[in-house]
Structure formats: C-alpha cells, structure tokens
Amino acid sequence: MVLFDPGSRIPLREFGILIPVAPNRSERVLDELRRSPVLAGRDESQWRLTSDGTELCRADIERVHAPEYVERLFSDGLKQVILEVFELIDDDGRPHRYDPALATHPLSDLFKGSLHWTARTYQAGSEALERGFCYHLGGGAHHAHYRFGHGFCIVNDSVVAIRRLQAESRIRTAWVIDVDAHKGDGTAALTATDASIVTLSVHMASGWPLDLPRYDKDGVEHPSFTPSDIDVPIESGEEGVYLVRLREALDRLWEYPRPDLVYVIGGVDPYEHDGLPSTQGLRLTLEQLLERDRTIFDRLRAAQLPQAWLMAGGYGERAWEPYVPFLEYALARTLDHE
Ligand SMILES: [Zn+2]
C-alpha cells in the first residue's frame, strides 16, 4: 500500500524557506500512479491509505531525543531550533535561503507538520507489519541527532516509530536500510548502542554531512561520524559498482539476526537529475535507482520481512520520477498478496 496524508505535507516555501524541495513531489507521484496501467481498474482505496488518525505525543519523542532538546521543541525555543535545523541564518546573522516576507505560516507550524509526518511513518511501520509492504510518501528524517536537529530534519521519524512499536511490544528488533545520497548519520548515532536496531547506510563518500569538521575545539567528535553497523561509502565516479556494493552490503546485513520490521530510507537524491547541488557526488540513472530499490524489495520480500519505505531526500522538479516505477513494481507484487 501507498500511504499519503495531505495533512502531513511540509511545503517549505510557505514558510519562506527556499530549499529546492518540489512542493508537490508526493502528489505528483500519486497522480502518476493514478494513470499507471499497473493500477488500472483498481479503486484508489485498494492501493492508497491516508491517515488513520494516530498522533504522537511528547513521550514518543522523548524515547529518542535528549530531554533538553525535546524541551526546546515544546517551548518558545522552537523557532530557534528550526532556524538552526534548516540553517536559515548565516554566520553574519543574515537570512540564508530564507525570506520571511514570503511566509504564509509561522515557522513553528513546521514542527506540527513534522509530528504528523512522524506519526505517518509509525503508521507505515504498523501497516507493514499487517500487510508486508507500505510506502509512506513522506518521512525519512535521518539526520536528526540526539541533542539537535540537523539537515532539514527536526525529529528522527524512523527511530521514533521503531521505539514506539517496541514500547507497544509489537516488535523487538528492526533494521534501517538507508540508501539516501547522504549518510544516515542521525539514525546511526541514535542507535549506536542499541543492539535492537541494525543500520545500513549506502551514501556519498564525501560531501555533507561527512564534510563537517570532525572534531570540535574540545576534541569531541561530531555525532555525524558515528558509524552505522554497516557503512558503504560510494566515491564520485563509482556509480558503475553501486549495485554490486549494495548487494554485498545486503549479504552482510543478512548475517545479523532476523528483525521483526525493516524501514527503508529510500531517498532518490542520488538521481543524476537531482536538484540539490550537494548531491552531485552520486549520479545514478533512473534504471540504476529502480534496480537499487527492486534489489532491496526483492530480498526483503523473499525473506518475508515486513518493509516500510520512506521517501527521504529527492530535490528539484524531477524528484518524483524515480519513485513511480518502483512503486508500480512493488504494488504489482503486493496488492493481491496481502
Ligand atoms: Zn539526502
């Protein structure tokens, strides 16, 4: 099933934030699926879910993030958090890729959207446990760390969802397979000492967040450098061996105990036509991206592991393109077999 909740959209431009996230990326994917021959003759309710009304509370966030950070999120400190997470003020104190005059909503509403979004990530996990496969057209905030949000990510939705499902005794263990162009640094750091969550990240070897200063003036290492259980850094120019490396990494992951649930952070920002300059270190074709996603899907499905996918990164006008053929592939194989 595909899960899309219009209420959990985060249209950054409506907050005056000028990051090139196409505001209609999820809707465009849905529109393409509505026209897809794979889904012809099916009522939309047979392949698409919307919000089931589940919401998250502060305690859900507190299972993952530091008490001081959670306090900032739920107080007047929120606006400052958002300015930092989206890097909207430069070193000289001036707005950076941010024009408050364009904003039609207060910045604080971004956190509400983020909570709705995180609740849908939880719902996607829940649905995957019931049905085997669910793709949330949102989510994937993998850069949020224990003490701070980072890289457009306020709350680490996949870890929040996993910890809630664990607290409800619906799962004991989970894997997070992250194939976004950027390293799943927040997820790796948050779960580094948690043996119940195994992380695999395939990402650009250089570039953000791995181009940040590794140590601060006190010699403390930035948490973005915390290793995932399995890290697969891909250098620029190594696109030709990307799929080989991915398959080797999945072989290594399969050596871990079988999990109860798998989240896949399916960012398409490695796409050669991605619109974010910082993703240019990895330029996969549409065909390579489809093969990437099919490889993961097929391995999980063959092992009968419940899989919940999240949209994560994907920027610019063409960001919708890689999602569609994979969803056609996955839906064709799951809809009549749930
Ligand atoms: Zn990314």
Helix (H) and strand (E) counts in the chain: 10, 8
265 - beta bridge partners?
Answer: 178, 310
Residue 303 identity = A
Domains in the chain (CATH in brackets) are 2-213+220-337 (3.40.800.20)
Q: Which of 275, 269, 337, 325 is nearest to 301 (CA)?
A: 337
Percent of the chain with pLDDT over 70: 99
Q: Contact 5/299 with Cβ under 8 angstroms?
A: no
Q: Contact 63/164 with Cβ under 8 angstroms?
A: yes
| Over residues 245-261, mean pLDDT | 98
Q: How far is the CA of 85 from the centre of ligand 1 (A)?
A: 14
pLDDT of residue 248: 98
Residue 332 identity = A
pLDDT of residue 128: 98
pLDDT of residue 43: 94
Compute the distance between CA of residue 177 and CA of residue 174 in angstroms, rounded to an integer.
10
CA 125-35-292 angle, 5° bins = 50
Q: How far is the CA of 190 from the centre of ligand 1 (A)?
A: 18
Residue 222 phi, psi dihedral angles, 5° rounding: -65, 135
Find the distance separating the first CA and the last CA of the chain, reported in whole Å: 9
pLDDT in tens, 59-80: 999 999 999 999 999 999 999 9
pLDDT of residue 337: 62
Residue 282 identity = L
Q: Contact 261/128 with Cβ under 8 angstroms?
A: yes
Q: How far is the CA of 181 from the centre of ligand 1 (A)?
A: 5
Q: Contact 81/149 with Cβ under 8 angstroms?
A: yes
In which element (H, E) is residue 130 found?
helix 109-131
- Is residue 168 scored above 60 in pLDDT? yes
Q: How far is the CA of 313 from the centre of ligand 1 (A)?
A: 4
Q: Which of 187, 56, 68 is nearest to 112 (CA)?
A: 56
Q: How far is the CA of 83 from the centre of ligand 1 (A)?
A: 19
Compute the distance between CA of residue 157 and CA of residue 154 in angstroms, rounded to an integer.
9
Compute the distance between CA of residue 10 and CA of residue 112 in angstroms, rounded to an integer.
9
Angle of helix 286-302 versus helix 242-253 axis, rounded to 10: 20
Q: How far is the CA of 329 from the centre of ligand 1 (A)?
A: 23
pLDDT category of residue 338 using cuts at 50, 70 and 90: low
Q: How many alpha carbons fall within 13 Å on the CB side of residue 62?
A: 7
Q: How far is the CA of 182 from the centre of ligand 1 (A)?
A: 4
Q: How far is the CA of 270 from the centre of ligand 1 (A)?
A: 8
Q: How far is the CA of 21 from the centre of ligand 1 (A)?
A: 11
Across the chain, what does the average pLDDT equal? 94
- Is residue 256 scored above 60 in pLDDT? yes
Q: How far is the CA of 203 from the centre of ligand 1 (A)?
A: 9
Residue 243 phi, psi dihedral angles, 5° rounding: -70, -35
| Over residues 225-232, mean pLDDT | 98
Q: How far is the CA of 168 from the centre of ligand 1 (A)?
A: 30
Q: How far is the CA of 41 from the centre of ligand 1 (A)?
A: 35
pLDDT in tens, 270-304: 999 999 888 899 999 999 999 999 999 999 999 99
DSSP letter at 133 equals: E
pLDDT in tens, 302-328: 999 999 999 999 999 999 999 999 999
pLDDT of residue 13: 85
